[in-house]
Structure 1
């Protein structure tokens, strides 16, 4: 896992901006990012979880001391 999560963030934004939640329902991006509904694809949900784990890894000092475990 890299120090920067910018690549994951860009992929997540692209995925969510193409989802039905934003395009069809015209809901705000932030609401769709928090959503667990069928209007968001499983790919977007997976990207969101990966992004959150990346950000958590930057903050969690225990993981920073132990090192990355092949994420």
Structure 2
């Protein structure tokens, strides 16, 4: 993730904060949010044509990260290889 200021950091220090921030920035740069003034969540759910595949990949990555936090088996076994 690129920040505009040097030494700029995320305020949220949770495990998946970086994925969430990347997804948010990806969605905010689409025409769906810029031109049509639709919320990022609605853009993802409606599968708007201006949302690139990269945003859907980030959404899945963020989901997997959040799931890994609550999945007890994965906490002990580690991620699938």
In the other structure, the counterpart of 2:18 is 7
- CA-based RMSD of the aligned residues comes to 1.7
Rg larger for: 2
Structure 1's unaligned 5+ residue stretches are none
User: How much does 1:64 deviate?
Assistant: 0.9
> Taking structure 1 as the reference length, what is the TM-score of the superposition?
0.82
Aligned residues: 68
**Higher RCO (CA-CA < 8 Å; seq separation 6+):** 1
Structure 1 outlier segments of 4+, above 6 Å: none
Structure 2's unaligned 5+ residue stretches are 1-13
